[in-house]
Amino acid sequence: MRQFLLAYCFGDKLGGESHKRIPTHSGCSHPCYCSCHAVLVSSGTLGTFALGGSANIIGDIATGANNADWDPGVVSSLDRRNELVYEFSTSETLLAQVTSNTLTGDPDFFLLSNLDTTPDGALNLADGALGATFLDGALGATESLYLITAGTYFLSIDSYGVGTSASFDINLNFATAPFAPVASLDLGILGDDSTPLTLDILTSTYDTELAIFDEGGQFALVQC
């Protein structure tokens, strides 16, 4: 059984908050700076899904835990609050979607590939963020999270804003990919972390566009 220490860190370490309780692994020598940082914890397993599958999820953020302060790569703002995390698997390439039934407060929904976090000072950053949706429209709306391949994923749900909470009744749905797979040619490794990648259309006389997508089908870069 995992043990935790309850540490109090004051405003000079947490951006002006008077205090904040941070659960850390037993034996952490400096919990206020998260040298032994917490990982995300799954609140439950939804099962394995194929095309047309769906899961109804009802919860209250107040019952969760604050093990990640930010999901870099899919959001640009920092929000300290609890999250509830649900594990699920898919048996094929599917489009993960979320439909709102009832929402109280302002819950946000993040798709993760793992439960790992990286410490950044007194904060924990989620490592596996793939996509997000905020369901800010009318109830009953369906929004896409990410095009995923067969594997295991995690839906992290939290509320927007410091010190806020939210409750939710949603459906997690799995639809067909919005486009058919296309033929591709493996070009190998084209660059490294220290060399800019340049796309050139050269002497094309047509209205040509080049684009880069990641393995999940998400747009990354375009050259017109």
Output the average pLDDT for the chain: 75
* Cα torsion 109, 14, 33, 64: sign: negative
Q: What is the pLDDT of residues 162-179, one digit of tens each?
A: 666 799 999 999 998 776
For the residues 17-28, what does the mean pLDDT come to? Answer: 35
Tens digits of residue pLDDT in 111-143:
999 999 888 877 788 888 898 898 988 899 999
Sequence-distant (6+) residues with CB within 8 A of 163 are 81
Q: Structure pTM?
A: 0.65
pLDDT above 90: residue 57: yes
Which residue has tokens 């093990």? 67
Structure confidence by residue, pLDDT tens digits, 92-101 = 999 999 999 9
Give the pLDDT confidence score for residue 151 in this predicted structure: 95
Q: Which CATH architecture has domain 39-175?
A: Sandwich (2.60)
> How confident is the model at residue 215, as a pLDDT?
64
Question: Would you list the domain boundaries of the chain?
Answer: 1-36, 39-175
